[in-house]
Amino acid sequence: MFICPACNGFEILSFSCPECEGKMRDQGRLVDYLDEYSPYLDDEGLKLVDGLKHSTDEHTCLHVLYCSGCQTINEFTVQEENQ
């Protein structure tokens, strides 16, 4: 079983914004923003619509990063770990 360390609180994603050098913070999985029921659906099924061609095979989780300073939004791929 593979789990995302960022989703499960084992890793905190924090990066400098490429636009303003402010702090970008993790806003969770991209697929959680698809509709109001996304956070409650099966992870593997949601990976089919996350925009990454091999996220299921490569065990990755796509996260949204947001900079409150300049409202920049970026995506970041997190490598899932085998538990």
H-assigned helices in the chain: 43-46, 55-58
Amino acid at 67: C
Instruction: Categorize the per-residue pLDDT at 37 as very low, low, confident or very high, splitting at 50, 70 and 90.
Output: low
Cβ distance 64 to 75 under 8 Å?
yes
The percentage of the chain sitting over the pLDDT mark of 70, rounded to a whole number, equals 73
What's the number of domains the chain is made of?
Answer: 1
What per-residue confidence (pLDDT) applies to 50?
A: 61
Given a contact cutoff of 8 angstroms between Cβ atoms, the answer to whether 35 and 46 are in contact is: no
CA distance 27 to 45: 20
What global pTM score does this model have? 0.77
- Take residue 50 and report the two structure tokens written for it: 């996350």
pLDDT tens, residue by residue, 11-25: 999 899 999 999 999
Residue 9 belongs to domain spanning: 2-82
